[in-house]
Amino acid sequence: MYQQLIENHRTDAIGSFRNYKKLAERAMEQVSDEEFFAVIDEEANSIAVIVKHIAGNQISRWSDFLNSDGEKPDRNRDAEFEMIAGETRESLMELWERGWQTLFDNVEPLTVEDFSRTVTIRGEPHTVVEAINRQLTHYAYHVGQIVLLAKHFRSNEWKSLSIPRNRSAEFNEFLAEQRRRSSGAERLNRMEAPLIFIEKESEREGRVDSRDGA
């Protein structure tokens, strides 16, 4: 039972990390380079700064995860919140990929035995489950900021990444239909499901508009 619980947690955590990465990227795909670096007020962070911070955190936390403190001596956290001359969207997205790859390279190989170990973050002991959950909630917090900023900049041009407003009932029917078709054996990815629903609804509405205009 313990082994199954650990394996379930690891699988769900990895899936959640990948979902948040994809959610942020789908939001960022919708913004221009100017919007990527823009700040909405003097206290706000730009999408670029959030990307830089997430990556810096990931490289520090997950490098040599089981053996060294998660706050590495060479990390300069304060610099993650400042833009440096010469940094581009491309260079920051390369850093983003490096950060996430560091995470997956260290979380995916974890064994059941590894989950009995203790790791430290800024000298404070954490179980492996605590360390994973700490970072999962941290990245979710910042990914939410990225989505909010991207939606703000796109305004009425924003392409929804979640259940469209006033369409919850239709979405629930869509999920039920998907379960019937798969006999309940396969569950849609919780982040992909709204996007698939939006795509199918757009296709359906397009067919209706085509018939009306014929």
What are the pLDDT digits (tens) for 152-207? Answer: 999 999 998 888 788 888 888 888 888 887 765 566 677 778 878 877 776 776 65
- Asked if the structure places residue 153 within a domain, the reply is yes
- Asked if the structure places residue 18 within a domain, the reply is yes
**What is the pTM for the complete model shown?**
0.86
Tokens 């795909």 map to which residue? 29
d(CA 51, CA 47): 6
d(CA 104, CA 124): 23
Q: How many CB atoms are located within 10 Å of the residue 180 CB?
A: 9
Domain end point (choices 131, 157, 183):
157
Q: What mean pLDDT, rounded, does the chain reach?
A: 90
* 145 and 184 belong to one structural domain: no
pLDDT value of position 202: 67
* 34 and 62 belong to one structural domain: yes
Q: First-to-last CA distance in the chain?
A: 61
d(CA 134, CA 70): 12
d(CA 64, CA 66): 6
pLDDT value of position 206: 62
For the segment 208-212, the average pLDDT, to the nearest whole number, is 50
- Asked if the structure places residue 194 within a domain, the reply is yes
* 180 and 100 belong to one structural domain: no
* 176 and 128 belong to one structural domain: no
pLDDT value of position 162: 83
- For 144-150, the CB contacts below 8 A with 24+ separation are 145/45, 145/50, 146/24, 146/27, 146/28, 146/47, 146/50, 146/51, 147/23, 147/24, 147/27, 149/31, 149/35, 149/40, 149/46, 149/47, 149/50, 150/27, 150/28, 150/30, 150/31, 150/35, 150/47
* 173 and 85 belong to one structural domain: no
- Asked if the structure places residue 163 within a domain, the reply is no
Q: Could you read off the pLDDT of 105-132 as tens digits, one per residue?
A: 999 999 999 999 999 999 999 999 999 9
* 147 and 180 belong to one structural domain: no
Domain count of the fold of the chain: 2
- Asked if the structure places residue 162 within a domain, the reply is no
pLDDT value of position 213: 52
* 41 and 77 belong to one structural domain: yes
Q: How many CB atoms are located within 10 Å of the residue 120 CB?
A: 13
* 174 and 125 belong to one structural domain: no
* 205 and 110 belong to one structural domain: no
pLDDT value of position 208: 47
pLDDT value of position 33: 97
**Domain encompassing residue 199:** 168-212
- Asked if the structure places residue 19 within a domain, the reply is yes
* 51 and 111 belong to one structural domain: yes
